[in-house]
Structure 1
């Protein structure tokens, strides 16, 4: 399963380069070799900048100013955290669009240590306006989101992961479903499952009287769907299950339900650093993001047995 989303990204981007004259792919060594064929056909639109991620983003901004549609790619900590100043100034401040495609997610590359972990990327990017943030839970969703981003002009962050759901919950009738999608209905609470954690959430909430909403896009946040889901609850209870920093979207829930008395629990990657390397599966368990840990948290929050 490892790398399936990234492989799909390479395949689809290579196809798009042949049909979209404005498109350019920028890498920082990561995955660069997989674009060798595309680079031979489009040497002026497939560019590798080495391990110089600040330059990667600045070059993306320059290409966008020149009318190109840049797709920049690296591991999440090197694509979002390291060059954040360039994202803020060379993309947002210049009012240009770009597509940033990361790999590694929060701890997919846990064996490489803290330098390759980025649970705070979505929270950090959420401090800037105008970003669409896609967190696909399946390669089919990632492909649909990438194709849509390539055709657009805005700012898009596509967060790829080695983790995957068994099915593409965000694809309905062969088309990408942009808003929250209802996977299960109940009355006691609403659980929002983001991206690759949907299957774990479904397993964790089996037999519980809860609605499960699925989100493959977290910015913009689908406040309309959330309000509709809690409409019959006297005091809405919302559980957010996100594959990055716990509580990242709690302010979005607060804004959506600001006129209602409500409770919210934000589950995700904890703030405390896990200093043992471990496997991604061990990290998920340690953060309570496996099905057993999620069930304990949800049941405790709802006060159910």
Structure 2
């Protein structure tokens, strides 16, 4: 696993994070254990591997949180969010306790393993539960900062790790930041997490401004409103289910006449093929060519 990989950076930072926060406990369901074997040997009282029992993994995390510990729960996104959703809802949310959930695999990183290992709806599901913050980092430095900050926190936090990444780290302060300037009246393209480099490549010669956020939920409504202006034209490019941020964007712009295009994994069709993550990105219109086409369509629509 490359050192530049977001998941590899998470594993590399786990031991120092656990050392700095003695109340933190890593909870696994086998997946990932092989990458942190030294940490398991060094800190047996801070690592729990429940076996291939993802619902039990989240239940154990809830019990640890009720006992005053800080659980860091990790496995692939479909197993952590979709398979254990009831436990996330009840054992963490309904009990009003905190935990740090860290997933891997994203929407289709594990495309060769089939649909069981894909989770384009994970952020939408987490955003449907009250009290959660969702971070979608695009660089290893962002992963490290989030882990060290949230390992000592108390809130309910979901961090989505992806095989896709940006060349440079971006702020992880929860705000929307302007990355590429342009005319104040130019449409804004908001790239979420690791989609930034794709968006920059896709729109390099287009008359648009580009912004970025690594925290799509809760969305920085004030920052978005400031950037889009009084008559917004906006494209939101997300690396998961298209329209996941639609309600938050609509609420932020409710008092303004706006045109918004949501670019992401389509909701109306399921790709029943294996292939590579690059194949899936192209099929879903989430490569540079696909993003460019959809942003161009937004530009061509009358204001």
Contact 1:35 1:46 in 2 (8 A): no
What's 1:208 paired with? 206
Offset, 1:258: 0.7
Q: SS at the partner of 1:218?
A: coil
Residues 1:284 and 2:285 aligned together:
no
Residues 1:164 and 2:165 aligned together:
yes
Offset, 1:143: 1.0
TM-score normalised per structure 1? 0.94
Residues 1:109 and 2:110 aligned together:
yes
Distance 1:125 1:19 in 2: 28
Distance 2:11 2:98 in 1: 20
Paired positions, count: 297
After TM superposition, list the pairs within 5 Å mapping 1:115-194 onto structure 2. 115-168=116-169, 170-171=170-171, 176-186=172-182, 187-194=185-192
Comparing 248-257 and 38-47, the one that deviates more: 38-47
Contact 2:24 2:152 in 1 (8 A): no
What's 2:35 paired with? 34
Distance 2:243 2:181 in 1: 23
Comparing 198-207 and 59-68, the one that deviates more: 198-207
Offset, 1:188: 2.3
Distance 2:97 2:188 in 1: 36
Distance 2:201 2:44 in 1: 47
Offset, 1:301: 1.5
TM-score normalised per structure 2? 0.95
Match of 1:266 among 256, 262, 269: 262
Distance 1:297 1:165 in 2: 21
Q: Deviations over 1:39-86 (max 9, x none)?
A: 222212201111100000000000000000000000000000001000
Contact 2:178 2:212 in 1 (8 A): yes
Contact 1:26 1:73 in 2 (8 A): yes
What's 1:229 paired with? 227
Residues 1:250 and 2:251 aligned together:
no
- The runs of at least 4 aligned residues of structure 1 exceeding 4 Å deviation read none
What's 1:196 paired with? 194
